[in-house]
Structure 1
Amino acid sequence: MLQFPRWKIFLVLAVLLAGLAFASPNLLPKSVTDNLPDWAPSNQVNLGLDLQGGASLLMEVDLAFAADERVKNVLEFIRDNLRSARIGYQNLSVSEGSVVFDLRNPDDATRERMRAIISQLSQGLLISTDEARVTVSFSEASTVEWRSRLVEQSIEITRARLDETGTKEPSIQRQGEDRILIQVPGEKDPDRIKQIIGKTAKLNFRMVDQSADPNALRAPADAEILLSNNPENPQRYVIKKRILVSGENLSDAQATFQDGQPVVSITFDATGGKRFADATLANVGRPFAIVLDGKVISAPVIRSAILSGSAIISGGFTVEEAGDLAILLRAGALPAPLIVLEERSVGPGLGADSVLAGQIAAALGLALVIVFMAVAYGSFGLMANAALVSNLILIFAALSALQATLTLPGIAGIVLTIGMAVDANVLIFERIREEVRQGQSLTAAIDNGYKRAVTTILDSNITTLIAAFLLFQFGTGPIKGFAVTLTIGLLTSMFTAIMLTRLIVILWLRRNRSKALPI
């Protein structure tokens, strides 16, 4: 065990140098780290919501609104496809969550054709008939699955939107059947987060019905009256209900400038590009409405067919609004609106208090451990203290490199690690003392001490690692933060005890040739 190959020495030194490189940005101001070269480590430890403040939002997925939209989509599907199949119907409407209508010719052949057409939409549809009356509804099983899928989809889209804003480690968790808890550490403008999260961002392209009067009380059956997105002077449009191109066919969206004004440049996928080209080719000279969340962004006249598969959305945006809209479109549309139920802000004062308390606890724990080791184990204790400081550097280096979020329980994990970090050295030093008492020489005692203590060290740390893994696997939020820091601390403490401290002890022994145990 006292043989320490040259490659191991280089390995220990390389790990320590890497630790210093990755941990050092935490001592620099953010303005300095932002200007470091690309090859230089510049990541700092992310502080959680409880340490640096931020926004905490509890939001509810509006399942009732989504259910209405779901039934309306079925109604539009039935209207379009029965007309195309020339199946006569009347009194088509929505009643108590179902679509109902009457067949003009309710013979068996017509019913079979009708069933075959409607069944194409979804396997979860229930079609019941009573004479000429037809009722189309969703099965209970498909509704339960749809509601769960809707909430999960909302969570994923919300996460994509928040990641686009550059926030660090947002916590997004499902709560109950239809609620989502969103925590964004370090966010200084919660209203902007609400705007980004709260918009459904449903984009579609539809034709303007020029034959209808926009000031009329009611629109034609195949159209609806929508307002422009100008809150000061909203303009009324009669927009066809048929969607020619949907936002689902977008492949990219970027904020840019056109004629000195902020706009959003969008690019369609292959399917969307073909639909957009066909729509513009067939409607040259007619206004084409760009509709976002039920508001008309703009309704330009199609001057010529657009075959490039891209378009420009202009609507008097500011630079920030154009950037936010591009983020929303890239992330995709929310399947249902999100309603803010509760909003909490953690101020910087509370965060500073938490950081200060953690710093005091860590510094006090470190000081007490250092004093104890120096008093109890003399020169060897000082070597263990050097390994302890190296251990802390490696912990912060790992947190910075992994971009893990440090929360108040995470600081507790570091404080716990400080006490546990010297545990391995204590086992080794006590084992060396026993070997010396049994008459072994100092060299043999050190060799046997490391050999016989390593198994115990590995066993104790592996069992703690298993507990940390379970905490990370089944815990949420701060519990995971505690598990992460505890795991990193255990791994670095084993490295510093088995590798670094042993290297220091061997170098000391070779240099001093001492026969007396300095502990």
Structure 2
Amino acid sequence: MNSLRWRTIGVVLSLLLFGWYAAMNFVPAAARKASDWLPDQALRLGLDLQGGIHWVLGPNLAVAIDHELDVLRASIADTLAEKKITPTRMAVESGQLVAEMASADDARALREAAAETEVLRVASEQDARVVFALTPEWEQEVRRRGMEQMLEVVRRRIDDPIRGIPESVVTRQGADRVLVQIPGGQLDREQARNLLQQTGFLEFKLVLDEAPTRELLEKKYEAKGGLPADTMIAEEKEKGTDRPTSAYLVPKSPNLTGDFLTDARSSIDPRYGWIVNFTFNSEGATRFGKLTGENVGKRLAILLDGDVASAPTLQSRIGGGRGMIHGRFDAQSASDLAVILRAGSLPIPMRIEEERTIGPALGADSVRGGVWASLLGFALVAAFAVFYYRLSGVYATVGLLANLVFLLGVMAMSEATLTMPGIAGLVLTVGMAIDANVIIYERIREEIRAGKLPRAAIRTGFNKAFWTIMDANITTLIVGIVLFQYGSGPIKGFAVTLCIGIATSVFSALVIPRLLFDVYPGNRPVQRLSI
């Protein structure tokens, strides 16, 4: 008797807990967040139910190939320098490494140095001019690596821990495309474009010279035959108009890059307005401290994607690995830049190849249709169960109702995303949940026909049906896990609903009706069972 009491209390408390979270799905998000006692967790609606932005991005993987060739070019140049050989010309052009040497012997040494890389092949050769390309295997590896890096950076930008959108989808589509889905109106379209398309490559370069315009700066060096070797001109531009306001002569190679950043946050400064504070890791802090300490009094240009964001004068050594970027930011642009710097720079540029806007009206109709389908499915299954199994069918219906409460409660607690296929999974779960009850009840009927009393028939029916039910549901659960692992977007939504529904339906079928049978008939000496 004590066992029955404690089981009853446990089931009732579980129903109350999950029922509370399930009810939160029908409370507006604003009301939940404003309340101190209502939980924030609730079901999230996917793109197909609440509308939003759908993009297919196409990365320019040729840039990844060129970058790899440039790295190999520098490596080969170092090898040749050790042998006192200087190429007449060596540059990356259209996915190939073109080298021109002074003699045939130098060309031979070049081929030997390229062969040591094990990833270059000779595409063409004429006298002392040799053209190299990546081997097919290594080119495929470079493309794969570029896609993985780009996916990770885009995912970190969209799912940023401070301003991210948790229910968004960033996944690979085919061999060289990226699918991005941002539900609802949580992110402005232009803001999202900026987050996705801005490369976010941060560089720190010492200013060697400056002038109001590029033309004036170039004119300074006309008499000297042009700009000094290994230097370039970077411009600071006015926000909104992109009109150059200053031109700076800086080294081509950065003194420090944003690869060492660990954090970046926007804030407001009394002198400069909106700024972006950044923090380096230990290695970056050491390098930044050395760079600023050795160049006190000089200007340090902070470049973002090749343009100067700001160029402050170094007043003293900056220790602690912290600094700031100021440059005519408003609140939104400073916040967006912080997100981009936190996520890291994109290894390759990309373009938006497909763009769709999904309105919320279709999603609202789908939700209403899904709710009615679930209610209708539940009503039909319940009517069949009560008609065919009588009182035992009522017990099964109570189990079905508990299953829905558990299912919605678990999904709300875990803040799962409900998609249109997820609604189909919900309806499917209602239909599948009665299967376990049918197996149990048919077993009980067999035992009663074999001459057993109702109490013994109930116990034997549940025991014999247990492994049959588990085998069937574990098989379906494996399919759901595979769908979740390898599916994307709405498919994952269906898999989540299916997997949670399997777990809750097994519990509801094995525990709830058994508990009700223990309540009635329980230990009563009944001769017939309503089944």
TM-score range normalised by the length of the shorter chain: 0.7 to 0.9
The question of whether the paired residues in 1 share the 8 Å contact of 2:275 and 2:329 is answered with yes
Amino acid in structure 1 at the alignment position of 2:62: A
Q: Of residues 214, 219, 230 in structure 2, which corresponds to 1:222?
A: 230
1:376-395 map, 5 Å: 376-395=388-407
Report the Cα distance in structure 1 between the residues aligned to 2:105 and 2:384, rounded to whole angstroms.
94
Match of 1:175 in 2: 173
Matching of residue 450 in structure 1 with residue 462 in structure 2: yes
The alignment's TM-score, normalised by the length of structure 2, stands at 0.86
The question of whether the paired residues in 2 share the 8 Å contact of 1:205 and 1:243 is answered with yes
Q: Of residues 29, 34, 55 in structure 1, which corresponds to 2:53?
A: 55
Match of 1:186 in 2: 184
Report the Cα distance in structure 2 between the residues aligned to 1:46 and 1:397, rounded to whole angstroms.
13
1:271-290 map, 5 Å: 271-290=283-302
Give the 3 Å change call, closer, same or farther, for CA 101–383 of structure 1 in structure 2. closer
Q: Of residues 355, 373, 387 in structure 1, which corresponds to 2:385?
A: 373
The question of whether the paired residues in 2 share the 8 Å contact of 1:214 and 1:238 is answered with no
1:82-101 map, 5 Å: 88-100=86-98
- Secondary structure in 2 aligned to 1:334? coil
Q: Which moved more, 1:325-334 or 1:254-263?
A: 254-263
Q: Which moved more, 1:138-147 or 1:158-167?
A: 138-147
Report the Cα distance in structure 2 between the residues aligned to 1:348 and 1:209, rounded to whole angstroms.
54
The question of whether the paired residues in 2 share the 8 Å contact of 1:255 and 1:326 is answered with yes
Shift of 1:289: 0.9
Q: Of residues 500, 504, 511 in structure 1, which corresponds to 2:512?
A: 500
Matching of residue 257 in structure 1 with residue 253 in structure 2: no
Q: Of residues 400, 403, 416 in structure 1, which corresponds to 2:415?
A: 403
Shift of 1:518: 2.8
Give the 3 Å change call, closer, same or farther, for CA 442–198 of structure 1 in structure 2. same
The question of whether the paired residues in 2 share the 8 Å contact of 1:25 and 1:44 is answered with yes
Match of 2:253 in 1: 242
Matching of residue 463 in structure 1 with residue 475 in structure 2: yes
- Secondary structure in 2 aligned to 1:444? helix
Shift of 1:19: 1.7
Amino acid in structure 1 at the alignment position of 2:178: I
Report the Cα distance in structure 1 between the residues aligned to 2:470 and 2:91, rounded to whole angstroms.
71
Match of 1:196 in 2: 195
Q: Of residues 495, 518, 521 in structure 2, which corresponds to 1:509?
A: 521
Report the Cα distance in structure 2 between the residues aligned to 1:285 and 1:130, rounded to whole angstroms.
52
- Secondary structure in 2 aligned to 1:34? helix
Match of 1:414 in 2: 426
Amino acid in structure 1 at the alignment position of 2:258: G
Q: Which moved more, 1:187-196 or 1:53-62?
A: 187-196
Amino acid in structure 1 at the alignment position of 2:33: D
Matching of residue 296 in structure 1 with residue 291 in structure 2: no
Q: Which moved more, 1:349-358 or 1:177-186?
A: 177-186
Amino acid in structure 2 at the alignment position of 1:453: A
Matching of residue 141 in structure 1 with residue 137 in structure 2: yes
Match of 1:436 in 2: 448
The question of whether the paired residues in 2 share the 8 Å contact of 1:468 and 1:487 is answered with yes
1:306-385 map, 5 Å: 306-385=318-397
Shift of 1:283: 2.3
1:114-153 map, 5 Å: 124-125=119-120, 137-153=133-149
Give the 3 Å change call, closer, same or farther, for CA 111–306 of structure 1 in structure 2. farther
Residues 451-480 of structure 1 show CA distances to partners (whole Å, capped at 9, x for unaligned) of: 333333233323333333343344433333
Amino acid in structure 1 at the alignment position of 2:284: G
Q: Which moved more, 1:315-324 or 1:163-172?
A: 163-172
Give the 3 Å change call, closer, same or farther, for CA 263–489 of structure 1 in structure 2. same
Q: Which moved more, 1:147-156 or 1:443-452?
A: 443-452
Report the Cα distance in structure 2 between the residues aligned to 1:113 and 1:413, rounded to whole angstroms.
62
The question of whether the paired residues in 2 share the 8 Å contact of 1:88 and 1:105 is answered with no
Give the 3 Å change call, closer, same or farther, for CA 132–500 of structure 1 in structure 2. same
Amino acid in structure 1 at the alignment position of 2:313: V
Q: Which moved more, 1:172-181 or 1:86-95?
A: 86-95
Report the Cα distance in structure 2 between the residues aligned to 1:314 and 1:119, rounded to whole angstroms.
47
Report the Cα distance in structure 2 between the residues aligned to 1:276 and 1:82, rounded to whole angstroms.
32
The question of whether the paired residues in 1 share the 8 Å contact of 2:214 and 2:235 is answered with no
The question of whether the paired residues in 1 share the 8 Å contact of 2:289 and 2:319 is answered with yes
Q: Which consecutive unaligned segments of at least 5 residues does structure 1 have?
A: none
Shift of 1:501: 1.3
Amino acid in structure 2 at the alignment position of 1:191: E
The question of whether the paired residues in 2 share the 8 Å contact of 1:167 and 1:187 is answered with no
Report the Cα distance in structure 1 between the residues aligned to 2:282 and 2:470, rounded to whole angstroms.
57
Q: Please identify runs of 4+ aligned residues in structure 1 that moved more than 6 A.
A: 76-86, 104-108, 110-116, 127-132
Amino acid in structure 1 at the alignment position of 2:146: L
Shift of 1:112: 6.3
Match of 2:222 in 1: none
The question of whether the paired residues in 2 share the 8 Å contact of 1:4 and 1:503 is answered with no
Give the total of aligned pairs.
514
Give the 3 Å change call, closer, same or farther, for CA 300–76 of structure 1 in structure 2. farther
The alignment's TM-score, normalised by the length of structure 1, stands at 0.88
Q: Which moved more, 1:479-488 or 1:357-366?
A: 479-488
Shift of 1:347: 0.4
Identity %: 39
Residues 236-266 of structure 1 show CA distances to partners (whole Å, capped at 9, x for unaligned) of: 3333212100110112111122216221111
Residues 327-369 of structure 1 show CA distances to partners (whole Å, capped at 9, x for unaligned) of: 1111111101120011001100111111111111111111222
The question of whether the paired residues in 1 share the 8 Å contact of 2:65 and 2:142 is answered with no
The question of whether the paired residues in 2 share the 8 Å contact of 1:21 and 1:41 is answered with no
